[in-house]
Chains A and B, each alone.
Chain A
Amino acid sequence: MVSFEVSRTLKKKKFWLGTLTVPFAIALILGLNVISNTTTANKVDTQKNAKFSFNYVDSSGLINSSIARALGGSEITDSAVGVANVKSANSEAFFNYPKDPTVEIISVYGIDKGIFDNGKYSAVATQLLQLSVQNRIGNRELASLIAGKVKVKSTSFLRGKESGSIGDAIPPMIFLLIFYLVLLLLGNQMLTSTQEEKENRVTEIILTTLNPNTLILGKIVSLFVIGVVQITVFASPVILGYSFFRKDLRLPNIDLSTLNFHAVPMIIGFLLLVGGFTLFTGTLVAVGAIMPTAKEAGNVFGVVMALLFAPFWIITLVASDPNSLIVQVFTYFPYSATVTSMMRNGLGSLGAGRAAIVIAELFIFGFIVLKLAMRLFRYGSIEYSKRVSPLQVFRKAKS
């Protein structure tokens, strides 16, 4: 059953068209980014090192005349003359440094060389000011420090143990990423997974050849396999881009050694993922079973997605005040519990006791909803063209 479901999905052109569009788009964006970054970097280097004749007025007193001369500049005192020289093409450019360049604008004038080459004027004006200030400080390292080019490593402790770093938070948050990816990629398919049987009037034949529980579980497993294929396809350009074009893409170097994989938060994250996945899958399958068409079932998908993203509305509160009432409500309400608890697990504010309650709640609710989904499929999906209420289904099941 799983192989039929997986192979028929993988054989569909539509599936590959949809799946490959994403990596192609990512590859295209990354490619354009590489080209753009390379071109821009080359251009900026060329432009800031460009040499041309210019006048400048220095009201700030910061400009070093020797450096200015070396770059092709000559100082004048009247800015109106400087602008007039550019207009009459007697000088290629004119820079007007104000009294306080930290708050006032440096005005740059130049002969039009086209939209891209015009950038050299502001590049040289900025370069001249930076070199002059650096020269005034007289120390390259000090100048770099003032520019804020420093690396800081902070270490915090909880009950005598090192904790609270971003390296602690990221690993458990991976489960949150997986949870979102799986549901965003497969949510709609979960919703419509039983629609095909219903719309094609196959339900009755299926119910007499296959246990509905086997069918639903088989569909979930096959969806998961398809999801893994999709995630792999989607992730491949990102991984390739990072591995081979990291510098061109100006991506930060991710140092995996700074990540701390602690067993407890990782286990909690995994259990929250499984519990949350069960709950949302069950809900989507249940909705699909009572809706007559995929189109009508799709209307409900938006609501489920809203529930999935709801905890992000209070993300600052989750980080700053995890004990507030609203965060507590989001932590324990089944449909917001997964995401809120995963965030708190990463940020270290969930706690083992609270985690145990949420995990138990998710598994219990997930199991109930999954059983409900199976029942709704069994009794609801043979009402082929009608939308049935869960109450009607139970009346049929109990009668």
Chain B
Amino acid sequence: MDLGQGEPLVHVQDFQMSFGSTKVIENLSFDVYQGETFGFLGSNGSGKTTTIRSLLGIYQATSGTLHIGGAPFSPDRNINLGYLPEERGLYKKEVTLDVMVYFGRLKGLSKVNAVNWSMNFLERVGIASRAKVRLDKLSSGEQQKVQLGITIMNDPLLLILDEPTKGFDPVNRRLLMEIIDEQRIAGTTVLMVTHQMEEVERLCDRVLLLKDGKARAYGTVSQVQDEFGSTSIDIELLGEIPLSDSYRVLRSNPDITQIVASVGNTPESILKELVLLGVQVKSFAEKKTSLDEIFIHIYGDEPIKEMT
């Protein structure tokens, strides 16, 4: 994947959004390139869903450019899009297959193709026998599977998933992750809004962290880790770690003590100091700050370096 090269599939430039006198988004800019999986992160109320809705033309932006495929999104442009909104549901009183075929038709499939696609999907997720059953007679897990099927129908060019695992049971969460994986391998561009940092680290090529409507971090996962986090050190030792100005203790339990080096100190100098102090070190490992920790740093209002 050649990230940052060529025309982006999603292009957001100087996006601003206000509801009345309340500024919700300020000068937000980011790009999502074809084939990449992009994590759009932020706490509740930070403006993620507003950005997604504006990108999809559901809201009208106050100012700025929000493009998908080189132009503002409109259903009339027939962009093959799969969207799983945060607030989601289906026509519950209709028959499962009818609903899937209806959305398939809206997404441009012929009736025969929509039926075939739907049946194949239902078979894959093990609920083909429920095709003729009304959706409200399905378990919530089964309904989630149908929702997923509708989202990825007709092999979308761009998948926008807003809190995709929200409300999903563990089985369906795994299924969702498998599907996202498959889609990205098949070359689908994925824009994912999530709180699940493990998933972001596992799946996303690049991320944007939004706080109070402003971008607080933007880049590849390792770039963000390098720029925002500091390297922590996990130490296994006998006894307690002595106090020192060279490091700060993050966490300490009988098995592992986690420290972070103070300014001007390196892991090597700290190890040397500990040995000189007579500490019996069993293991000593450098570890990058996880996205989860960076997220807590940013949203916990702790001072953090802005990315250049």
Contact = CB atoms under 8 A, between A and B. Distances in A.
B19 A209 contact: no
Contact of A209 (B62, B75, B98): B75
B94 interface: yes
B45 interface: no
A8 B93 CA distance: 9
Contacts of A378: 58
Contacts of B20: 395, 399
B88 A208 contact: no
A206 B20 CA distance: 26
Contacts of A398: 60
A200 B106 contact: no
A267 interface: no
Contacts of B166: none
A208 B98 contact: no
A200 B58 contact: no
A100 to B, nearest CB: 71
B19 A207 contact: no
A162 to B, nearest CB: 54
A48 interface: no
21 contacts: A4-B98, A4-B102, A8-B91, A200-B91, A201-B89, A204-B56, A205-B83, A205-B88, A207-B56, A207-B75, A208-B81, A209-B103, A209-B107, A211-B74, A211-B75, A379-B59, A382-B53, A382-B58, A384-B87, A399-B20, A399-B59
Interface in B46-85: 53, 56-60, 62, 73-76, 81, 83, 85
Nearest to B151: A205
B74 A382 contact: no
Contacts of B90: 200, 202
Given A208-B75, A396-B59, 20 more contacts: A1-B106, A8-B91, A200-B90, A200-B92, A201-B87, A201-B88, A202-B91, A204-B88, A205-B85, A205-B103, A207-B58, A207-B75, A208-B73, A208-B81, A209-B103, A209-B107, A395-B20, A396-B60, A399-B17, A399-B59
Contacts of A360: none
A306 B200 CA distance: 57
Contact of A208 (B58, B60, B93, B102): B58
Interface of A: 1, 4, 8, 12, 196, 200-202, 204-211, 378-379, 382, 384, 395-399
B265 interface: no
Nearest to B84: A205
B18 interface: yes
Contacts of A205: 83, 85, 88, 103, 150
A303 B103 CA distance: 35
A202 B146 CA distance: 13
A399 B60 CA distance: 7
B105 interface: yes
Q: Is the interface of B mostly helix, strand, loop or mixed?
A: loop
A313 B87 CA distance: 46
Interface residues of B, number: 33
Contacts of A196: 91
Closest 9 CB pairs of A and B: A201-B89, A204-B85, A200-B89, A209-B106, A4-B102, A208-B83, A201-B87, A399-B62, A208-B56
Given A4-B105, A201-B88, A399-B17, A210 B83 contact: no
Given A1-B106, A204-B53, A207-B58, A8 B94 contact: yes
A201 B144 CA distance: 13
Interface centre among B83, B87, B91 (most CB of A within 10 A): B87
A204 B87 CA distance: 8
B64 to A, nearest CB: 12
A391 to B, nearest CB: 10
Contacts of B92: 200
A399 B90 CA distance: 29
Interface string B153-169: 00000000000000000
Nearest to A204: B85
Contact of B83 (A200, A204, A395, A397): A204
Interface in B98-125: 98, 102-103, 105-107
A384 B73 CA distance: 23
A202 B102 contact: no
Contacts of B102: 4
Contacts of B59: 379, 396, 399
B90 to A, nearest CB: 6
Contacts of B98: 4, 8
B168 to A, nearest CB: 15
Contacts of A4: 98, 102, 105
Contacts of B17: 399
Nearest to A7: B98
B98 to A, nearest CB: 7
Contacts of A211: 74-76
Nearest to A206: B106
B58 A204 contact: yes
Contacts of B73: 208
A63 to B, nearest CB: 73
Nearest to A12: B93
